[in-house]
Amino acid sequence: MNLIAAVDKNWAIGFKNSLLAHIPEDQRFFRSMTEGKVVVMGRKTLESLPGGKPLKNRVNIVLSKNPDLEIPGCTVCHSIEELVSELEQYPTQEVFVIGGEKIYTEMVDMCDRAYITKIDREYEADAWFPNLDEREGWEMVSPGDDEEHTYFDLIYYFREYARK
């Protein structure tokens, strides 16, 4: 399985159920990596998507403890065990965990790869991604193209991490 996220210098990912920054190139990268694949998210992440609707051209799986939750266009799982069972039908390289904080934290050690857009800025935040630079068992395997990207005054980099 894969993780994909945009993080700031402190590995923050969001504030008040919104992304910290909207970078068109990062959004294109996310789309290119996940289209035609399986995306796994929590309910709050689903609610933060445009219109609160599932992402098009993807299998959308939502993890929620609410046993009565039903979402048109999504498969809803109510536990990690149920989610793991549901994911058995898909090739692991086709599965992308897309957030939020709790889902990333619960699933990081089940994943093999992480595609991180690292934004060179600190934001006010209330949600974080596990810090893969400090997490045992993870290493940066590709600094991406190692090219500094810019969007107005934002500087960011594409990074790839793998579990050792």
pLDDT tens-digit map of 18-56: 999 999 999 999 999 999 999 999 999 999 999 999 999
Which pair of tokens denotes residue 43? 């309910």
Any idea which of 52-66, 98-112, 125-139, 142-156 has the lowest mean pLDDT? Answer: 142-156
Q: What per-residue confidence (pLDDT) applies to 142?
A: 83
Band (pLDDT 50/70/90 cuts) for residue 147 is: confident
Give the pLDDT mean for 138-145: 82
Spatial contact of 120 and 21, defined as CB atoms under 8 Å apart: no
Give the pLDDT mean for 80-103: 97
Predicted TM-score of the model (pTM): 0.95
Residues 98, 101: Cα–Cα separation, whole Å: 9
Average pLDDT, the chain: 95
Residues 65, 42: Cα–Cα separation, whole Å: 10
Residues 15, 8: Cα–Cα separation, whole Å: 12
The secondary structure of the chain as a DSSP string is: -EEEEEE-TT-EEEETTEES---HHHHHHHHHHHTTSEEEEEHHHHHHSGGG-PPTTSEEEEE-S-TT---TTEEEESSHHHHHHHHTTS-GGGEEEEE-HHHHHHHGGG-SEEEEEEESS----SEE---TTTSTTEEEEE-TT---EEETTEEEEEEEEEE-
Q: What per-residue confidence (pLDDT) applies to 103?
A: 97
CATH number of domain containing 96: 3.40.430.10
Give the pLDDT mean for 85-93: 97
Residue 124, burial from CB neighbour count under 10 angstroms (0-12, 13-18, 19+) = exposed
Any idea which of 10-14, 124-128, 145-149 has the lowest mean pLDDT? Answer: 145-149
Give the pLDDT mean for 78-87: 96
Q: How many domains does the chain have?
A: 1
Provide φ and ψ at 43, rounded to 5°.
-60, -40
Domain that holds residue 22: 2-163
Band (pLDDT 50/70/90 cuts) for residue 106 is: very high
Spatial contact of 158 and 145, defined as CB atoms under 8 Å apart: yes
